[in-house]
Structure 1
Amino acid sequence: MSVFSESYGFNAFSSSLFFSIVCMVVLPFLIIREIFKPIDQRKAPAGKQWKLPPGPRGIPIFGSLLEFRKARSDSAQLSQWLSSLSQYGEMTTVHLGSKTWVLLNSDRVVSELIAKRGALTSERPDLPIASSLVSNDKRSVLRRSARWAEGRRAMHHLLNGAALRTYGGWQELETAHLLAACLLQPRRWHKHHFRYANSVVHWIVLGERLLRPTPELDALLAVTIEFVRAINASLVDFFPRLAALPRVLQPWRAYWARMGAAHRAVFVAWWEPVKRAVEAGTAPASFVRDGLLAEDTAYCGTDEEAMYLALSVVSAGSDNTRLALNTFVMAVLCHPGVFERARREIDGVCGDGGGSGAGGGTGAGSGTGTGAATASTLRLPTLADMPALPFTCAIIKELLRWRPLVPTIPPHDLTQDLDFEGYRFPAGISFVINSIAVCNAVPDPDAFRPERWIDGKGGEANITEGLWQFGGGRRVCVGYRVAQMELFIAVARLIAGFDYKANGPYDSRRLRHDIMDEPFPVTVSVRSKAYEELILREAERLGVLQSAKDGF
């Protein structure tokens, strides 16, 4: 054979081998990319052409998913990443695996797309992990509309005027317990926050004060924290087609299924005593007795769905209040002058209790007062004082704006193609409220300035006006009025009665909400002897002093 022939044969073989290798590598890549391509990058139906807002390019198949997952491991990094996406404008398109998120970065577009067009934007996306495996398809916040609507309808009766007045009395009683617990066991201040938040919603939903021992309460908090971590944690929720693989090809499934089973077991432990009491006719009035399990109720869900609905309300309602109260303490450490002003406002209505007596540490501790009342006429703020305490009301809104409890509100899936301000969105994309960007769209966003909410028209008293921390549109949290009352009475009374001082280094952008222990080091002390006597007297009068001493 000639040299030419041998060379030609070798070159042909090399070319064929190279081509085969390229096909083996490139062809699967192209197939995978096509399978998992986001809906707006697929070929549009005849006569249509999608046009979405600008955003980062990302990388093939994953888009910006790897960057998002890295950022979400640290609250400060996530806030920074979400804030940076507002550089693209009021809306930013981000591809996360198969999912297309259109981040809504301003109050205006959130109002237009979530509130005004809620008929098209109230669906939840398919989440095979967080919704299906971890939540057994029954946690209300993630349920798709067909199964969500019945529970939503059932919850509306919780918010009538008579119910809110009843809840107000319970909230004032539970804050008496909170204050006594902070006085008697100040090192457990963060535990007292959760117990207070949980007891109020526990009373509303299950019909009784919270008298559970600490291990059971800790178990419920652990479930709540774990569930929040599970949202957006798995790659499968961003590539939902993976959930259609045969189970033998889903190695991740066992881990998440075990988590879902553990969560359900905690729910059952809280649910069964209430259910037995309802069946025995001994249960007090409650949402469960009168709204879910009554024989003549119009609720059409199963017993299992009723359990998840009730315990999801207890879990989510109490956790958000816990986060807000922890944020309140951080804000006191960072901006003591603001809380000195709030204390002066409260003192002008309720009396100053004879000054500070707390050692004058960092925090709401000046205790200068106005002398409007003597120590003998000192009283705690009440819900009836809300109109007289606009600055304190504004603090509640500023807490939610300054450090948003939820950086991104759960996605709102678009159910029909939509034309909006020159853009054409395909059904199936998700609108996501970028809480960080929306809350930062104010002058000097890192400053804690409650006065920005005071407009002379009572805007400080409407917690959802200009804020989206309770969601929006048809998915807005039905309990936002209860939450506002609960936060106001707790914050007003804590400002009036306690001083806070840092007890070690802290970072105001890392509040460490996702841990069971103290999130940041704080020393809590009662403001004065007069307040100490008042707190103990009120707790004794309302019958909660002993449980505060016992630690639950």
Structure 2
Amino acid sequence: MPDMVGLGALSVLDVTLAALGVALVSLILSGKRKGPLPPGPKGWPIIGNVLDMPSSYQWKTYTQWAEKWGDIISVTLLGQPIVVVSSLEHATELLERRSTLYSDRPILTVGGKIVGWDQIVVLTPYGPRFREARRLLSRWIGSRSSVARFAPMLQHETSKYLLDLRRSPEQFVNHIKKSAAAIILTMTYGYQIKGDKDPLIEIVDRAMAQFTVLTTPGTFLADIFPSLEHVPSWVPGTGWKQRALGARQDTDAMLDVPYSIVEKEMAAGTATPSFLSVNIEGNPDPTEEFQSTLKTTAGVLYAGGSDTTVSTLHSFFLAMACYPEIQKKAQQEIDAVIGNDRLPTLADQDSLPYVNAVCAELHRWNPVAPLGVTHRLVQDDVYAGYFFPKGTLITVNAWKILHDPETYKNPLDFNPGRFMGTEPETDPRPVAFGFGRRICPGLNFADASIFLSCAMMLAVFDVSKAVEYGRVIEPVVEYTSGQIRISKPSGPVQVFDQAPVCEG
């Protein structure tokens, strides 16, 4: 179960009384339901399924439950219903066709209200602020044509990444992080990173490091019992409040520091055109609300883009080491279409279908966010004979959908060929990037960035399993837990020059 110890418990008596109150209300309301919740593990009186909930790799447990009870199951945590959807059909019906009902986010007292992540688009409640932020993002990177204008910057930063990789290939993980940060910060703030320990990157990374724990529903008792927010911080068991207030400082710094940098550069006439500077110039007398929305929307570009890109490129290196025949096939396509006298560009994307298939398979093979981000129902709904009360949390088990053997043959294998030919398997990107009005607004930019990194890497380098003392070290396909996963550094890989990299 999620670690709730010391994270908001006032006393055993207080929590028990609160739980009894929630359970009583839940029982009263359940008597008025128009139908049952979906099946799932039975649970206990009052606490429901608190003891059944996994503390890590939740998608694996949810997949086991789906195999036992079906592709739409439910649990309750102290009266809070949670529905887990494990099929594309159910996810599409609820989150796409009924998006007006299912586009809200969970109300998180700690990670949202106190720490401030509810002001950032990914967790912003559905409403005017969310729609304005989406409008800004859609105008900036919402289509392939809008992303195309960033091609020179993407190609330049990726070329720098290749040079770093050639100089110190053993540091490929750090180079991935640096490159992803450079791309996002340039696009968002016109900011050029300063060395390997850039102060702005450190500020943002501190805030991002806490995101998963702070925003996982059920981690903090105060998310279930919001009144705990008002308990004085000197009361035993409220150490979580100091932690949350410290995290709030990191979140504020992530938003305020780069915004101030851009404002100063604009005043001095030295600002590089970016998402922030262009929108500030476009609103010479902005309201305080617009400034706040603009600041948090800029913040989500880094928060939503850097970690996901890093994770996907981790998977790329791991896959190329484990499947050398696939690497060779992709390189042969690049040689045939591009030749050896230049690097691939974004304009070549449609001419390299197999490389595109490699990128698509990266999203399916080990998805970055196997459970996406939880949705919240804004009013009662009835679906497939089940009754979902207002406030029900909806989680999509993207992992199971993308590993369903009925949809993907041998789903644990990395096989880009599954997306080629006359009968290609289902494109995983609509699942990997979310659903409905909450679909990732940066999907086209992410697609372009990942394609360029993979294509340019394949054109220049070979990736192989590491060899130590003459013995091949087999990589282990193992990932961390959390809302955003990354491959563990077990089983190293090696990167070798295939051809010279142009310094330009």
User: How far has the Cα of 1:223 moved from its partner?
Assistant: 2.6
**1:201-255, Cα deviation, whole Å (9 max, x unpaired):** 2222112443465242244334323212322272326514343553345442111
Matches within 5 A, 1:237-256: 238-248=223-233, 250-256=238-244
Asked if 2 retains the 8 angstrom alpha-carbon contact of 1:392 and 1:492, the reply is yes
Report the equivalent of 2:168.
Answer: 185
Report the equivalent of 1:138.
Answer: 119
**1:256-299, Cα deviation, whole Å (9 max, x unpaired):** 11122123224433332112122344322221112246434777
- Whether 2:419 is the aligned partner of 1:453: answer yes
Report the equivalent of 1:20.
Answer: none
Letter in 2 for 1:454: M
Distance 1:274 1:98, change over 3 A: farther
Q: Secondary structure at the match of 2:378?
A: coil
Asked if 1 retains the 8 angstrom alpha-carbon contact of 2:368 and 2:485, the reply is no
Q: Separation in 1 of the partners of 2:477 and 2:244?
A: 32
Q: Separation in 2 of the partners of 1:101 and 1:391?
A: 39
Q: Separation in 2 of the partners of 1:408 and 1:495?
A: 30
- Whether 2:46 is the aligned partner of 1:83: answer no
User: How far has the Cα of 1:418 moved from its partner?
Assistant: 1.3
Q: Secondary structure at the match of 1:507?
A: coil
Q: Separation in 1 of the partners of 2:285 and 2:450?
A: 31
Asked if 2 retains the 8 angstrom alpha-carbon contact of 1:267 and 1:311, the reply is yes
User: How far has the Cα of 1:386 moved from its partner?
Assistant: 1.7
Letter in 2 for 1:201: I
- Whether 2:469 is the aligned partner of 1:507: answer no
Deviates more, 1:444-453 or 1:318-327: 444-453
The match for 1:166 among 124, 149, 157 is: 149
Q: Secondary structure at the match of 1:301?
A: helix
Distance 1:422 1:314, change over 3 A: same
Structure 1 unaligned segments of length 5 or more: list them: 1-25, 352-376, 542-552
Matches within 5 A, 1:487-506: 487-503=450-466, 504=473, 506=475
Asked if 2 retains the 8 angstrom alpha-carbon contact of 1:40 and 1:100, the reply is no
Asked if 1 retains the 8 angstrom alpha-carbon contact of 2:213 and 2:219, the reply is no
**1:348-381, Cα deviation, whole Å (9 max, x unpaired):** 2123xxxxxxxxxxxxxxxxxxxxxxxxx53222
Asked if 1 retains the 8 angstrom alpha-carbon contact of 2:109 and 2:229, the reply is no
- Whether 2:179 is the aligned partner of 1:196: answer yes
Report the equivalent of 1:365.
Answer: none
The match for 1:230 among 207, 214, 239 is: 214
Report the equivalent of 1:430.
Answer: 393
Q: Separation in 2 of the partners of 1:291 and 1:50?
A: 49
Q: Separation in 2 of the partners of 1:484 and 1:350?
A: 20
Asked if 1 retains the 8 angstrom alpha-carbon contact of 2:203 and 2:254, the reply is yes
Matches within 5 A, 1:56-67: 56-67=41-52
Q: Separation in 1 of the partners of 2:409 and 2:445?
A: 30
Deviates more, 1:290-299 or 1:392-401: 290-299
User: How far has the Cα of 1:321 moved from its partner?
Assistant: 0.5
User: How far has the Cα of 1:415 moved from its partner?
Assistant: 0.9
**1:142-161, Cα deviation, whole Å (9 max, x unpaired):** 11123322222222211356
Q: Separation in 2 of the partners of 1:182 and 1:140?
A: 34
Report the equivalent of 2:449.
Answer: 486
Q: Separation in 2 of the partners of 1:38 and 1:298?
A: 48
- Whether 2:361 is the aligned partner of 1:391: answer no
Matches within 5 A, 1:43-122: 43-44=29-30, 48-70=33-55, 72=56, 77-87=57-67, 88-122=69-103
Report the equivalent of 1:206.
Answer: 189
Asked if 2 retains the 8 angstrom alpha-carbon contact of 1:236 and 1:242, the reply is no
Distance 1:456 1:171, change over 3 A: farther
Q: Secondary structure at the match of 1:252?
A: helix
- Whether 2:204 is the aligned partner of 1:220: answer yes
Asked if 1 retains the 8 angstrom alpha-carbon contact of 2:91 and 2:396, the reply is yes
Q: Separation in 1 of the partners of 2:270 and 2:380?
A: 52
**1:132-181, Cα deviation, whole Å (9 max, x unpaired):** 22226422211112332222222221135653221122111111111111
Q: Which has the larger radius of gyration?
A: 1
User: How far has the Cα of 1:316 moved from its partner?
Assistant: 1.8
User: How far has the Cα of 1:54 moved from its partner?
Assistant: 0.8
Q: Separation in 2 of the partners of 1:141 and 1:168?
A: 26
Structure 2 unaligned segments of length 5 or more: list them: 1-11, 467-472
User: How far has the Cα of 1:390 moved from its partner?
Assistant: 1.2
User: How far has the Cα of 1:191 moved from its partner?
Assistant: 1.4
Letter in 2 for 1:174: E
Q: Separation in 1 of the partners of 2:15 and 2:114?
A: 29
Matches within 5 A, 1:247-326: 247-248=232-233, 250-292=238-280, 294-296=282-284, 301-326=289-314
Q: Secondary structure at the match of 1:424?
A: strand
User: How far has the Cα of 1:56 moved from its partner?
Assistant: 1.1
Q: Secondary structure at the match of 2:332?
A: helix
Q: Separation in 1 of the partners of 2:14 and 2:265?
A: 59
- How many residue pairs match? The answer is 475
Asked if 1 retains the 8 angstrom alpha-carbon contact of 2:47 and 2:77, the reply is yes
Q: Separation in 2 of the partners of 1:226 and 1:29?
A: 25
Report the equivalent of 2:136.
Answer: 154
Distance 1:521 1:28, change over 3 A: closer
Q: Secondary structure at the match of 2:90?
A: helix
Distance 1:29 1:153, change over 3 A: closer
User: How far has the Cα of 1:83 moved from its partner?
Assistant: 1.9
Asked if 2 retains the 8 angstrom alpha-carbon contact of 1:39 and 1:100, the reply is no
Distance 1:126 1:98, change over 3 A: farther
User: How far has the Cα of 1:62 moved from its partner?
Assistant: 3.6
Letter in 2 for 1:340: K
User: How far has the Cα of 1:33 moved from its partner?
Assistant: 3.6
Deviates more, 1:296-305 or 1:512-521: 512-521
Deviates more, 1:506-515 or 1:403-412: 506-515
**1:464-518, Cα deviation, whole Å (9 max, x unpaired):** 3xx3222111011111001001101111111222222334564312258989998
Letter in 1 for 2:274: S
Supply the RMSD in Å over aligned alpha carbons.
3.1
User: How far has the Cα of 1:458 moved from its partner?
Assistant: 9.0
Query: TM-score, length-normalised on structure 1?
Result: 0.78
Distance 1:237 1:440, change over 3 A: farther
Q: Secondary structure at the match of 1:36?
A: helix
Q: Separation in 1 of the partners of 2:154 and 2:66?
A: 39
Deviates more, 1:294-303 or 1:307-316: 294-303
Asked if 1 retains the 8 angstrom alpha-carbon contact of 2:102 and 2:378, the reply is yes
Deviates more, 1:92-101 or 1:510-519: 510-519
Q: Secondary structure at the match of 1:428?
A: coil
Asked if 2 retains the 8 angstrom alpha-carbon contact of 1:129 and 1:236, the reply is no
Q: Separation in 2 of the partners of 1:499 and 1:235?
A: 45
Deviates more, 1:112-121 or 1:85-94: 85-94
Distance 1:293 1:102, change over 3 A: farther
The match for 2:402 among 431, 436, 439 is: 439
Q: Secondary structure at the match of 1:477?
A: coil
Q: Separation in 1 of the partners of 2:286 and 2:424?
A: 37
